Structures are given as structure tokens and as C-alpha cells.
Amino acid sequence: MTQTERKPSTHTGGCHCGAVRFEADLDLGNPVGACNCTLCTKRGVLGAIVKPAELRVLAGEENLGDYSWGPKTAHFLFCKTCGIHVFGRGHLVELGGAYASVNVTCIDDIDPATLEVVYFDGRHDNWQAGVRDTPWPVHA
Ligand SMILES: [Zn+2]
């Protein structure tokens, strides 16, 4: 994993239909996270963890649906019109407390092929293990 110095800049993004718009302070040169949990496996999201203040909803707050499951420590927000998951909000000690997770595939004009991906073992709540360069197994 390449650990680069954090130099965030403001990126805009949104859902597919355009109802939900946001901006986030991110350095897209840093690795983005994929996760093997039951939800992330199905939705194929790539996440960037930011502080809550580094993610700002510009439009469509009222059009956001809120999904959470299990211990309900995290909220996964999606556009009620087009169904696209745009970002999540939660609290996890291992991630430094309150956080937001931006779905970087929703950043305007993003090319996922340019992103470095690292992997979380969310399936086993193995957050203390951090990330690694290859996917964690689902069935372990
Ligand atoms: Zn939408």
C-alpha cells in the first residue's frame, strides 16, 4: 500500500439522476477502500473515509434514503429516485470516531481504473486489521 501525504482538494459528485449532489474534500491519489461485507459485496462500492465536515450535501438532502442493518452503527444513504448509494455516515473507533464514507465512484468524471484500491475485512468486523492490498475472503 502506498501511503501518500494527504493533500485533499474539493471534488463534486452526485447520484445518477442528479437529484443528490455533494462535495467532498478528498485526495484521490490516496487508496480507496473496498470491503467484503454483505452490503459492499452486493453494491461494489469504493469508499473514501473523511471527517463528517469534509462531506457537504449541496442538493437533494430530502431525497436521501437511509439504510442500515445489523448493529446499525453506519447509515448508508442513497438517492430515492435512482437508487445510487452516494455516501455513508457512521461512528467506528477504529476509523477515528465519527466519519463519512464517500462513494468515490459517484465523483464527477471519475475513472475507477485510475484508483488504487485497498481492502477491508468488514465481513468479519475485522476493522482493527486495517487494510491490505488484496481482497479478504468472504468465507473464512
Ligand atoms: Zn438520483
Q: Identify the CATH number of the domain in which residue 63 sits.
A: 2.170.150.70
Task: Please give the distance, rounded to the nearest whole angstrom, from the Cα atom of residue 61 to the centre of ligand 1.
Answer: 11
Neighbours of ion ligand 1 (CB under 5 A): 15, 17, 19, 79, 81-82
Could you read off the pLDDT of 67-114 as tens digits, one per residue?
Answer: 998 777 889 999 999 999 999 999 988 778 999 999 999 999 999 999
Q: How many residues does the chain have?
A: 140
Using an 8 Å Cβ cutoff, are 112 and 46 in contact? yes
- Which amino acid makes up residue 29? G
Q: What is the pLDDT of residue 1?
A: 43
pLDDT tens for each residue of 4-14: 566 889 999 99
Residue 46 lies in a domain: yes
How remote is the C-alpha of 121 from its chain's centroid?
Answer: 14
Residue 56 lies in a domain: yes
CA distance 112 to 79: 21
Q: Within 10 Å of residue 59's Cβ, how many Cβ atoms?
A: 12
pLDDT tens sequence across 27-45: 999 999 999 988 888 988 9
For residues 92 and 115, give the distance between their C-alpha atoms in angstroms, rounded to a whole number. Answer: 24
Distance from the CA of 130 to the center of ligand 1, in angstroms?
Answer: 32
Cα end-to-end span (Å), the chain: 23
Domain that holds residue 13: 9-129
Distance from Cα 131 to the centre of ligand 1, integer Å: 30
121 located within any domain: yes
Number of domains in the chain: 1
Q: Please tell me the distance between residue 9's alpha carbon and the centre of ligand 1 in angstroms.
A: 24
Q: In the prediction, which pLDDT does 6 show?
A: 65
pTM of the model: 0.87
